[in-house]
Each structure stands twice: as structure tokens, then as C-alpha cells.
Structure 1
Amino acid sequence: MPGSGRLVDVVDTTTRDGNQSLWGATGLTANEILAIAPTMEQVGFHALDFTSSTHMSVSVRFHREDPWELIRLMRAAMPRTLLNFITTGMRFIAWQPCDEEVMRLAFRCVVRNGIRRFQFAEPANDPSALRRVARMAREEGVEEIVVGLTYSISPVHTHAYYAERVAALADCPDIDRFYLKDPGGLLTTDAVRELGPHFAATGRTVELHSHCTIGLAPLAYMEGLKVGFDVLHTAVGPAGNGTSQPTAESTLRNLAAEGYEHDLDPEALGRVSTYFRELVREKRLPPGEPREYDAAYYHHQLPGGMVTTTQRMLEEIRRPELFDAVLAEVVRVRAEMGYPILVTPVSQLVAYQATRNVIDSERWLNVSDETVRYFLGHYGDFAAPPDPDVADRVLSLPKVGKLREAEPIGLEGVRARFGRRISDEELLLRLTMPEEQVDAMRAEPAIAERSVPVDAGDRAPLVRLLREIERRRQISYLRVQKGDDLVVWRRAS
């Protein structure tokens, strides 16, 4: 058998990447995640791909939840499982880069609130930048540091390119693990077969992360195990497939078929899967479904989360019929920008510019400040030189002068601006988010004081009934009695 009994670890992506890829990062609330956390702890995942600065901002903006409190509560609910924070390295919530002092404070706060593992995915795959942030993370107390190289295909991004970069990082003492990150789901079995030995040659544990966007990820995972990958990233039940990762359930079946072992508890995994299936059905969220092969993805290469985000953006402006045109424009914009890798935050810049180019009367008529910063080099070295005509047009815009001199977000003067009594955690939110959004979050009850989470084992018909009644605003009172058991429900006035 190919596996020969070899043990494979699993990282769960349900609450972060699954939520982002399928539901625009807004699908799951804090209490919905906390309700199932003790059962997820029983499954035995090596780590939980739990949050990012983007998800922290979503907690504040959409759910009015304190993301720092959520981390603390999750750590208490899952003390054995490593909670993971994914970051580009020098950006926290805001798209504008931060200076080292801000990032060290952010890393320190993330760690002291309960995160023990960091995944780094630097937009340019720059070895020097990745060494720098890995060292910072180690010095700020991160327990497990995982550095990723983000997979892409272009005239610049060849397999030799990835072999050179992983070799350039192999001697870094601050990196515990490496991972190959494939946000577009583009990895073929041939590509994994060629790249895997270069990652395995580092002598570290190596992880594989891909998306099912065009149906290739499960095949890439099984091939990856043959050539040296040790850990697979999966999502549970309805949070997998589609533009998300392979499901944990199907991955375990494939491991067994190929002779590999794992330490996950299938019974606990089944309870987690049932919980999310019922939750997704109640909330009318679209579950991930297997996707057919689509060669067009090799042209636009948008990550799974950006596909759903772009669709939502077009729906918000009532132009959903433009989606295919925007994807075609992404291909053109990416080439004109010098073939950047489509990973946060650059994927957002490219998708937004493509959308503007399709909607506006003229291409490159409206350009975001962050795209100007990209052309000014604020996001690192270009993979290839940008189109000179486009670069000239962007850099001739009136706002370029001001943006050219813009400094990274720093801490100078922030205590005088926001007050000396607020915590470092609140300071970071106020430094990087609109004031009204943070104020609205602060005005709400703490997460722990909100509605009591329902454990997976208690998602009974009565619970579903109460949730449905809660949604029907015309019902204000319910009384259910069976024998001596009595349930009375009243709508808060």
C-alpha cells in the first residue's frame, strides 16, 4: 500500500477559510463557533485555522463582536488544539502596511489572548520578508511558526521559482514548518509531484493547503502525501468542497483507502459535521458542493474567498450578470500589474480594479488608493515589470503625490489620540478600523453575555422550533408543555 501505515495530521479550516471561501467570512458568529468548540477539541485536529486580522474586522463590522474576547473564549474551550492566526506579516486589518512596532504589538496581543500558531503567507513570497516576520513572531512568543509559499502560475511563477525560494528559507531557525498554499485550487498531481520533494528537503514538517475550486484538491492531497507532505488542511461537512478545502470526512476515507493512518476521532468528527449541516440549513447558507473541472481558473486564478466576495460585490450593485466579464478582466489586470500572486490583500486589489474597469466607461479610470500604493512599490517587489502604459497612467493621478509620501501605520501619538486607559487590543482596533464600527461593537453586550450557545448534541427539534419562531417577528409568546415539562418563550420587548 502507498501509505504503509504512515500517520497523517490534519488542520481544520472550517471556521476561517471554509467560512471565508463559501460565506464571505460572515457566515458564522462567535456563539455558533463556541457552541461546537468542545466537540471540535475531541476530534483531535493538530490545529484549527481559526482567524486572521480580516476575520477580526468582520467580527467587529458585521457581528459587533469583540474578536479578542472570541479568541480568549475559544482558547478556553479548546485548550489542547493549537489555534491558528494567518497573516501576510506586515498588515493588520487595514490594507495599509504597518510598521514593525505596530506588528509586534499585534503579534503580542494575538498570542497573549490565546493564539499559539501563526501561518505566514507573504504576497510576494519574498524570503527576506518571511524571515523577518518569522523572527518577529518567535520573539513575541509564537509557539509554532508555519511559513507558506503561495502557489501561482505565470511566466514568472515556475516550479524553479518555488524550488529556489523554499531553499532560500530552509536554514531559517525561526520556521517550524513549511506549507504550500494553493488559494486558487490550481495544483495538479504533476505539480505536487515536482514541488513536494523541494519542500520535504527542508527537513521540516510540511503541510499542503488547496481548494476544491476545480475539483483537483483531493487528488493533489493524495499525491502530496506520496512525495513528502505530512499534514493536510481540510474543512468539515458543508464548509468543505466548492471553493473551500476538501472535506475532512472524504479525506479520511481516502487516507484509509491508500493505507495511511490518522489520530482523529471519527465519532466526534461526525457530531461536528452534523452540527454544521444543521446550522447551515437553519441559516440558509450555501453548503460547499463538489465542483467540475474548469480550465478558465488557470487564467484568472482568483482564490475561493475572492470568487464569492466578487459575486457578492456585483450583487450589491445589482450587476451580477457582469461576473464572467469581471473574471476575464482579472486576467488582463493581473498581467498589467506584473503578475502579482492573487492572495490577500493583492487579490482584492486586482478583483476590485477588474470590476471598476468593467463598470466604468474607460479602463483604469478609477483606481483605489491601495492599487496606487501597489504601483508605488508599497507591497514589495514586483514579480514582473508592470505594463508601462498602465503604470504611467496610474502614477500620473493627482492623488499619487500624497500617497507616495504615506508612511506605514505607526504608534506615534496614538495614546494621545485614543486615550491612555484603553487596552492595547482596543487600541489596535481603533488604529485600523472606522471609529463608529468599534464604538458600535463596544456598545453591544460581551460575547459571553449573549444568547447561550447550543451544543452539538442538543440541536433537537425544540431548539430548531425556537430558532424559527425567533425569526418570525409576528410571534411574541410561546408555551409548550408535555407532562411536567414546561417551556415558555417570550420575545424581548
Structure 2
Amino acid sequence: MSTVVDIVDTTTRDGNQSLWSATGLTTQDILAIAPTIDRVGFRAVDFSSSTHMAVAVRFHQEDPWERLRLVRAAMPETPLSFITSGMRFITWVPADEDVMRLAFRCVARNGIRRVQVVDPSNEVPRLRRVAAMARQEGVEQVVLGLTYSVSEVHTHAYYAERAAALADCAEMDALYLKDPGGLLTPDAVRELAPHFVRAAGDRPAELHSHCTIGLAPFVYVEGLRWGFQVLHTAVAPLARGTSNPAAETTLRNLEAEGYSHRLDLDALSAMSEHFRELGREKGLPVGTPQEFDATYYHHQLAGGMVSTTRRMLEELRRPELFDAALEEVGRVRAEMGYPIIVTPVSQLVATQAVRNVIDAERWSNVSDETIRYFLGHYGEPVAPIAPEVAERVLSLPRVEGLRHLEPLHLEGARERFGRRISDEELLLRLTMPEEQVDAMLGSKPVAARSLSSRRHPVVTLLREVAKRPSVAELRVRKGDELVEWRRAT
């Protein structure tokens, strides 16, 4: 009897973020296909994050809490998952425990059943603390993740030690290896898998990687061979490129290796076509296979940050410095104590690298957020910071004004924003610009908007049939409903 592999779908969160800048999907876009997604049979849908909630408000004037409620109602069988980097909600400013508890309480009661917890520094005590908070505030499933990186300190022993330290976490329902940069190789996952599987025990071990340099499909096959039971994929239009492996290809690969799955392939195909059509309508790119690029291991910037770095240099009219900036990223990262290149630290490293290659002297121009990094507001670096760089940054005149960072807390928030507003609105007002929240609240709720603006699948079918002269007649029946089409003569 073959081993059954479960799939977590990343299309609406990580796929959207990796290829469509997190702005490509509206609530209506997702609702139109949600019942079909529910039929596919995914273990869970990696659906949202505080970043995606902010995008819904800022770019679409949509209530992100309403999005959770509507999609949860439209796909009741499949758990919706929320990813968090720990003690932070929407803004980069760290959040106090009272804010995070309220955030977990709100996402749980609005439809989130599963939370994926990662930490930018892989700090085990913080992962355990956040897991306990999420469970206590009503989250059904808590998945803890260790974020993969490559450096002098991010060795396989480093990950084995941290996985073992999570093994007895009572709130952990699954453990996953998260590779946002697509850095894992088949050899690396072969060595790491036993440690993750052992730490997970009788709980699932999940594997998440990206196709940024083309290795993720190979990594997934090797991961299955060595004990991972759950893979994270997106449907083809929002897969590959800097996104996750395509579900369709992954299923073929695992079947070829003798594994089986639970997915409804017809529903999966319909889901994939929906997002492909959306991409065509909105002029958004689909993911394409990437070639292996060994230089990526030096800078480790995700695809979105590579394009952002190029755009920064073009705006500064210095595009010729792009290669030098990528080279500088590796140097800056080493000097900053080898932070893992994930949000928000990836932005700090890339921006500093651009400044260093443009300015006459390195580290002469430093952002406030980078100063806060050197002050320890982003956690303790895993390796020592270069002393000469730290001395230069911490001698800047602005340091004293930034030294004491007040975390976001709820004390006094009701007095500032009103005692009659909901907890959900309070969280948005606490973390976002007033005018953006006001604009969202002033727009018509998604539930009251017509969903008919999305093209019905039958209309799409008839438009495609009309392009094929060989088809003269078509009949589509569903229950008592019949649609008949004949080509005009």
C-alpha cells in the first residue's frame, strides 16, 4: 500500500505574494473559486498573513476580516491557515503580548483554523511562546516552522538542535522546514529530514520550498523519500518562478515515485484554470521554470527583493551598479551577523547594500530601521556583528532617539480610537494609517457587492469554443439546467 502525501495549497497567499506582489487577488477573485478549492481535498490552504490583510485595506479598500469570514463560509471543509512571524502584526514595530493575543483571537473567530508560526531568527523560546498564545486564544492547529538559510552559522547541526528543542512543545501540531529562498538542495534535505521527522514524532513533518533557482521539485521528491509527509504547492499559474512548485507537476512526480494523494484532479484543474484566466484578465505574469544560479547562494535575496533592488537602482539612475549591489548584499549580511534573508530584515540588508555601493563611503548612510537592528530590536543575531560596523552605526547622532522602542500595546487604545469599535477595527487602526482604514470602512462591503462581475465559467467556455471553427454545436447540462450553443451560419 502506497504512502499518502498531503498537500497544503499556497496559491492565494505565497503564490500571490511571490508572483503578483500580494496585490493580485481580491476577495471576489477568491470567493468565485472557493467552493471548488474546498472540493480539491487540500490538507489546508495557506491563505493569509498580517501583510496580506494590510494589502486588502491599502490596495483594494476591502475589510480583511470580512474576507476571512466569507472564504471560511465558502470552503468549510478546508482549514484556512494564517502565517505569522511572531510578535508583530501588520507594522514593523514589535507588538506586545496583549496585541498578539487579540490578533490570534480575532483571526480564529473570523475563520482561521490553522496558524503557521515562524521566527526571523529561529528563536525556539519565542516560537514556543507564540504557539502557546495562539492555542490559548482559540487556534485549532499550530504549525511551527524553522526558516532555512545558508551561512557559516546556519549549519545542519544548527537546524537539528532547534528541531530537537521543539519536539516536546505540547502546542505544536506539525513541524515544517520553511525554505523561502529556495536554497535547499537534495543533499541538504536528505540530511535534515531525519531530524525534523524525529522532532515531529507522531505529528506531520511538512516541507516548504521555492523554485527560485529551480531545485525545489527535486528537493520535494528527496524530502518524501526521507520522511516528510506534507508538501506545500501552488496551482501552476501561481507556481514556479520565485513561487512554490506546481501542484500538478508535484502530484505527477510523487505518483512516479510510488506515493499517492487525496486530491480531486478535476477540481484542481478547474481551480488552476480560474487563476490562469485571472492572470490573463489582469495582465499578471504566470510563473516559469528558473535555471540554476549558483551566485544566488551569495546574496540569497528572494525574487521579489532582486527586482526591488534593481528598481531602486533604476530610480536612482544607477542601474549599472546592480551586480555590485548583489555582491554587496552578501558582505552586508556577514557584517550584520548573518541574519536570515526574510521580511523585514531582507529589506534592511538590500537597502543598505544599495546605499553602500552608491555612497562614497560604506555605512555612511543608514536607515532608522537598520539602526534599530543594531540596537537589538529585531532579536539577537545568530553570529557576532562586525565590531567596526557596529561602532560606526551606533555612533550616529540619531541612535539615542531610537534606542528605546515602545512596542505596540492596547493600553489606552480604546480611549484613542473609541470604545464602541470592534476588536478587529481596533487592530487595524492601531497598525495602519487612519486614512486607509477610513477609506476601507467607507467602501461597500464585499458581501454587498455583486459577484457577477466575475465572468461565469460557462461564459469563459463559450468564448473559447467560439474561437475554434471546428466546433459547430455545444450543449452543457447541470441538473435541470441546459445551455445550448450553435455557431451562426
Same-fold status (TM-score > 0.5): yes
1:334-382 Cα offsets, whole Å, 9 max, x none, are 1111000112221222122223333444432332222211111111111
Q: What is residue 160 of structure 2 aligned with on the other side?
A: 163
Per-residue deviation at 1:326? 2.8
| Residue 35 of structure 2, aligned match among 35, 38, 42 | 38
> Structure 1: how far apart are the matches of 2:280 and 2:260?
32
Q: What is residue 481 of structure 1 aligned with on the other side?
A: none
1:278-335 Cα offsets, whole Å, 9 max, x none, are 1111211111000000001111112344334445555666665544333222111111
Structure 1 unmatched runs, 5+: 465-483, 486-493
Per-residue deviation at 1:229? 0.3
The alignment partner of 2:196 has SS state of: helix
Q: Is it true that 1:445 corresponds to 2:440 in the alignment?
A: no
Change (3 A) 1:51 1:360: farther
Q: Is it true that 1:200 corresponds to 2:197 in the alignment?
A: yes
> Structure 2: how far apart are the matches of 1:463 and 1:94?
44
Q: TM-score, normalised by structure 2?
A: 0.91
Check whether the contact 1:373–1:379 (CA below 8 A) recurs between aligned residues.
yes
Identity %: 70
Change (3 A) 1:434 1:175: same
1:214-293 alignment, distance < 5 Å? 214-293=213-292
Stretch deviating more after TM superposition (216-225 or 423-432) = 423-432
Check whether the contact 1:8–1:261 (CA below 8 A) recurs between aligned residues.
yes
Check whether the contact 2:299–2:326 (CA below 8 A) recurs between aligned residues.
yes
Q: What is residue 301 of structure 2 aligned with on the other side?
A: 302
Stretch deviating more after TM superposition (450-459 or 193-202) = 450-459
Q: Is it true that 1:50 corresponds to 2:56 in the alignment?
A: no
Q: What is residue 15 of structure 1 aligned with on the other side?
A: 12
The alignment partner of 1:207 has SS state of: strand
Q: What is residue 151 of structure 2 aligned with on the other side?
A: 154
Change (3 A) 1:321 1:105: farther
> Structure 2: how far apart are the matches of 1:274 and 1:317?
40
> Structure 2: how far apart are the matches of 1:456 and 1:320?
44
1:343-422 alignment, distance < 5 Å? 343-422=342-421
Change (3 A) 1:11 1:458: same
**Cα RMSD (Å):** 2.0
Q: What is residue 175 of structure 1 aligned with on the other side?
A: 172
Stretch deviating more after TM superposition (356-365 or 25-34) = 356-365
Change (3 A) 1:302 1:198: same
Q: Is it true that 1:135 corresponds to 2:132 in the alignment?
A: yes
1:88-167 alignment, distance < 5 Å? 88-167=85-164
> Structure 1: how far apart are the matches of 2:403 and 2:98?
21
Stretch deviating more after TM superposition (229-238 or 394-403) = 394-403
Q: What is residue 489 of structure 1 aligned with on the other side?
A: none
Letter of the aligned partner of 1:186 in structure 2? L
1:418-468 Cα offsets, whole Å, 9 max, x none, are 11111111111111111111112122111223341537634527889xxxx
Q: What is residue 457 of structure 2 aligned with on the other side?
A: 457
Check whether the contact 2:145–2:178 (CA below 8 A) recurs between aligned residues.
yes
> Structure 2: how far apart are the matches of 1:247 and 1:186?
17
Letter of the aligned partner of 2:192 in structure 1? L
Q: TM-score, normalised by structure 1?
A: 0.90
Per-residue deviation at 1:410? 0.9
Letter of the aligned partner of 1:89 in structure 2? G
1:84-125 Cα offsets, whole Å, 9 max, x none, are 100111000000111101110111111111101000110111
Q: What is residue 209 of structure 1 aligned with on the other side?
A: 208
Per-residue deviation at 1:390? 1.5
Letter of the aligned partner of 1:460 in structure 2? T
The alignment partner of 1:116 has SS state of: strand
Structure 2 unmatched runs, 5+: 465-483
> Structure 2: how far apart are the matches of 1:318 and 1:62?
28
The alignment partner of 2:329 has SS state of: helix
1:315-354 alignment, distance < 5 Å? 322-354=321-353
> Structure 1: how far apart are the matches of 2:458 and 2:358?
48
> Structure 1: how far apart are the matches of 2:463 and 2:317?
36
Higher RCO (C-alpha under 8 Å, 6+ residues apart)? 1
Change (3 A) 1:381 1:179: same
> Structure 2: how far apart are the matches of 1:382 and 1:298?
19
Change (3 A) 1:459 1:331: farther
Check whether the contact 2:377–2:405 (CA below 8 A) recurs between aligned residues.
no
